Structure 1
Amino acid sequence: MTTRAKLTVYSALATALASLCMLPLLTTRGWFTHALLVVGVISAVGAGLRRSPLYRWSVPTAQVLVLLLLMLIGFAGSGMTGGVLPGPSALRVLSRVFSSGLDDIVQYALPAPPTPGLRLILVSAVGLIAVLVDTIAVTYRRAALAGLPLLAMYSIGNGFAGKQGGSWIWFCFAAAGYLVLLFAEGQDRVSRWGRVFRGGARGTVTSNQVSLGGQQVGVLALALAMLLPVFLPRWDFGLLDSGSGGSSGSGTGLGRSVTSSLDPMISLESALTKPSDDVLLTYTLDSDLADQTYLRTGSLDQFDGASWKLGSTVVSDLPSTLPTPEGLRDPNVPRVEGDFQVSEKLEKSWLPMPYPAASVQVPNRGDWKLDPVTRTVVPVTERAIRGLRYHVTSLDLRPTADELRTAPTAPQDIRDRYTAVPSDLPTVVAQQARAITADAHTDYDRATALVNYFTGPQFKYDTSVEGGTGSNAIAVFLRDRRGFCVHFASTMAAMARVLKIPARVAVGFTPGDSKDGNTYSVTGRMYHAWPELYFSGYGWTRFEPTPSRGVPTHYTEASSAPTTAPTHQPTAAATSAAAVPAPTSSSDCTAKQRQLGECGPKDKVVSQAAEESWLLSGQVLGTLAVVVVLIALLLVPMFWRTAVRRRRLGGGGRRRPGGDGPTELTDAQVLAAWDELVDSAWDLGIPPDESRTPRSAARRITEKADLDAEAAAATGRLALATERVLYAPSGPVTTAPLAADVRTARRALQAGAGRRGRIRALLLPPSSAQLWWRISDAVQTARAAVATGTGRAVEAVTGPVRRVFTRRGRSTPGS
């Protein structure tokens, strides 16, 4: 490996080691693998461009453009054509994701959930640092200055991580990477000195390696930096200090960090795309509608165009009795008692409860806080729910369709807050919402029309679709009509807001499976999202727009025709029969089974098709295309070298230079055979020496490779034939089959090179550098031709004008 290649590798390694300090920032580590791939691609692009005749400044420019393309492929999939080529909206989608990441930085405590925006910020930051380090250390050969961007990344990552980061560990990794980079630069400098100052007295050390003294100084400095703070007084500042900076995530009194360390929508999407049969909790509920009762963990009431999220950031201590639900006219309704047992499998979640809960009893009330706006009970620590036993008393609200239809208009403050939509909401959302509800005259009828529209046969439940609840995801969902509960719930809620119906998105679980009597178990397959719509007198009510999932509400099934204001809904009427899958002839098929799609083989076939459709997704195909292109580029040297060998030695049944046969060989054929021998030796570890004669070069190859007698004789014959062509053009004509001699010598060279040498000669033959030289010559020739043509064109345009002014100046009196 050349010293420049070592610098490239070690600069990438230094960036990767320094970026480890950002691992504590998110709850998962998948983004780091993405970042490592980006660093590798950027380093490979730099290594390739530095071997070309381009200007040095063009290398970092190209690396930044490649980084932008990688970010578009990774985070703006909906704006890409074929998953690889940027479409007209790709930059706009990427900007929206980046803006959501900036909002997430403010909203979430550490470790934060891996939202697309946060992953984009981290991966792009590591990529930019990789470009800077590679540019400074390799392109401009100033490795010492490359420590500045590495230090900046470590300082920012450690500053955000704070106490949770273990900063001394990350400092050790970052410093080690920087020292390795400095050692590599030292070797590079010594090797370049060696090319200038050759020779020396007998016994003089000519190694191009950095002496052990320099390495010992670097290791000693790193050890002192790690050990010295132990014996010094503690300060509240400095790069090694973990006591300050960053968000600790503690929530005392009122605070944002308690509610911000968990994003339920991100967790929900992950659980839906990777369902499991693990039992998350079991419960008993003394209600005749227990098999239709959802367990709500919380609701997301703010829609900013990028996602639905929790708008409230203020929580209070969990009271023994919860306040009266928002909008409820009569709180004196029947109560439902429930006992819940959480398993060890559920580690991060807000508290699942029937809605609306009236009171909650938990063992340690200090571990929980209440968001009074959304009635969400959130943990102070993320694992407070693990193995928890608790008791919930909830209100048994059962409004009828007629009651909701005649409900008065919501208060103005409710309408202002829960009907707000972003300014960039696609127009198709409002257009379709108004078209679907054109014949509806009440908010309830409009909500029912939306439910019937989404549960109709034109929409399919498909978890292979890319997640997201933002404006762009809603537009794609309405166009493709495929998605899972997150898409159905967020889209219906957005449409309801457009129609001035207060709406938000709730998350939680569908009703559990009955084990025995009134005991139910909830598994990882029951994660769900649904819209909640506000009706005065009854508060927030659930609607179910997702086909083949969940249970339809009784007030949307009980009455399909209004009693006061008749509503004729052409769109809804055509699809109302398909609100749930068609039942089979069996009378044992319950409403819940029909909604879950468990009554007929047709639904199972659709479900299986949805599970397999990911194979044809544009993102997967685009990723495969990128991988194929990269592999093809890596194999270009091997293919080029194979083609050159076949052209020199013959193949395909045609006579070629150096080919076998009893006929006379031309000078070109002899020289082609000799070139193949020299290049074969170069590929297997013996670089050419152009200062030697063919006979001397053959002797050098024979001695260095320790060829056997047969291979040495073949090499000698090749050298003799080449000398006749070069030095005695009128001498005897060569008739020997030189291609056979080349193959004999090449087999002997391969035998002496070992397995590793043979693999390198096959995949990355050093002689393929000639291809780069040819490309460089072609580029320089083209550049010179362009410069010459441009000069002639400029002269043709400006010459006549210049001559006119020259003649006019000469004719001026007194000149």
Structure 2
Amino acid sequence: MAVDTRSPAREGRSSTARGPVRGGPRARRGREKPRSTLLASASLAGAFLAAAFGLGALLDGLSWWAVVSLVVLIVLGAAALTRARARVAALAPIVSAVVFVVVTTLFFAPGSAILGIIPTPDTIAVWRALADAAQTSISEQTVPATANVAIVFAASVGIGALAWVGDVVAITLRRPLFVAVPLLVILAIPPVVAPGRFDIASFVATSAAFLALLVVVRGTRQPGVAVGIGAVAVVGSLLTPLVLPAVQPSVAFGPGLSTGINPVLNLGDDLRRTTDRTVLEYSTESGSAQYLRLVTLERFTGDEWAPTPTRVDTGNTLDDFGAIPGLESEVPLEPETTAIDVARLSSPWLPLPYPALSVSGVEGEWFFEPRGLSASGVGETATGLDYTVSSVRVTPTPEQLLAAVPGTDDVDDYLELPDDLPEVIGETARTVAGDDGAYTSAIRLQEFFRSGDFDYSETAPVDNGYDGTGMEVIATFLEARSGYCVHFSSAMAVMARELGIPARVVVGFLPGSTGEEPGIFEVSTHDLHAWPELYFDGIGWVQFEPTPGRGALETYADVSIEGVPEATPPAEAEPDEPDDAPDPDVDPDDGTDPETDQDPDSALPETGSTESAQTPQGGLAWVGVAALILGLALAPALIRFGQRAAFVRRARDGRSDAVEAWREVVRDATDTGVALVDTATPRENARLIEEALFSAEPALSRVLARVERHAFAGATAAAAAGAGAEGDAPGDVAAVRSALLTSAGAGGALRATVLPRSLLRAFDRGRTTRS
């Protein structure tokens, strides 16, 4: 039986004998191609818009869907327009990818981009902040959730990227069946996240559009294929929640707290949440409430407070934390046992009272850090842990603190400050504290903030552009006199260092509130907090609470307790206020803060503070963008390289035949611009290839001889009579390709390598015909 070995042709080029009949069916198909491509793009867009509409089961309103639809239509429209107008259809995926980046920049981060459309490192930072905010918002909200800017950003980028992939797969590579995969990803989201919530109309519309895509691209007359896939999508989406465990949302704070990078950067965003959720419950043997710490921030760079990078010592297991830093036996200690049950907390640190002596009941790789006595996990998270902490309550007397001196025991790094610290910080610290000793200075600093001249506000720093922990932010905060715990704790710690008292900032939780059960304290997201600790020789780290209206004072820090130094009246302690000090309730006229020169509108309010957009990895962001663009540009070349490598591997293993070798020659010829004819025989097409070469290539004759023997005598007989030809197929194909590239010239060879036309046009479908 004869084997069909005809090779694919190039449309729109001259043909030889047996070419398409003028005005025949093939000519009509050629004229209809622009229209069919447009119909394919329309069907693809309809499928993704219908699938995205199904997310309405999770999100409130339809404004989010309008934005997502606009992004999808622009991306797919750019690809369709490029195919219709550009001479090289291979440009469509690249152009649509560039348009995708431009649209995302214009819609979600125009203030950080050049001309509002060209992304910069600040744009990447805004995108990261939006992604983090979306993750947080999704984990916090109940269904149906409010589609804020962060969620709309995530939906637009996610569905837009899937639509771009669908366009490449369905139209560029002509493999529309594989578009079912990204569509199923979108369709499966509602029933997985919220079992029982799905939009059947979305399933039906998606299946109908997918069927239209198959008909347009592949010309199928078997609608049962698409209907079957649509049925699988519906049934699979409905059954998936039954076999998967129920989704238990965790409390995901900002990226610092959830990843362990810098937990104070986005603490303001975490506090500004409208939804208050329980993070953990605990009980104490004494029945008293207590602060729970996560991590200490020892390093002040001038721009921010951050944890000191340390290498995990796997010998520091939680069964024994060792000695308490700086503590001597004369200080009164009260033993305590705390049982902690973490409900939902996406954090690599364990909430612990200070100072902890040991922890039991924790599974996984958890280790303590000896200087701060915080416990962190290697690849672990605190969610769902139930453990018991043995600790002590350190209660130094006022007399002991008065007699103590600022730390001199290997704590010099807790005094480090930048050389260009704003003068207002040092002047305010010295005026407030006086020179009556470290303990008295600490009390006066604390009471300076708690005296009533400062307001607690989670929004004023954002509204007036001085959110964050840097020294310029602190200077502005001292004048504006309005902020939240991050500002109060970082300001007091920096001012204490200026006075020669070692200080650090702690991030953790307030004691919480009494729960429904007696003796049980509940800690919620609203209890997330930061406070300063100061170091005194012989006593160690001592906690203070400068944030007004938040937390509780220890006996040694409460000025109403006998023996505690009295604070200097604020009116006498505070320095003269500048005449041009900003009113915390009034925005500056030019929209920027005079100290920080930050524009509060440079990032969307929903993305978090402007601090989140300040990244030291801007260069890496540009490298990432460049790598992405380069990867997209080289994708066709890499796919073609993979095809050649697969052929060589199969040939070496004896799993390929003469027909596959001929197909590789046809692909190489098509890549270099040779106009082959799909209705011609291999011999006729080989003649066309020879005409394109500078000189005769014997390897081409050997490949042709093998495929003709295969067609007439069958694979077995051809191999027996082929003079060892089958084993030489990879070398012959490579020789033909080398000759084609040489004949095409440098420009043609580059174009054939980077933009292989055999991939980008639906000519090579493995069709063969009789010779």
TM-score bin, normalised by smaller chain: 0.3 to 0.5
Q: Which has the higher contact order (CA 8 A, sep 6+)?
A: 2
Higher Cα radius of gyration: 1
Q: TM-score scaled by structure 1? A: 0.43
Q: Which has the higher helix share?
A: 1
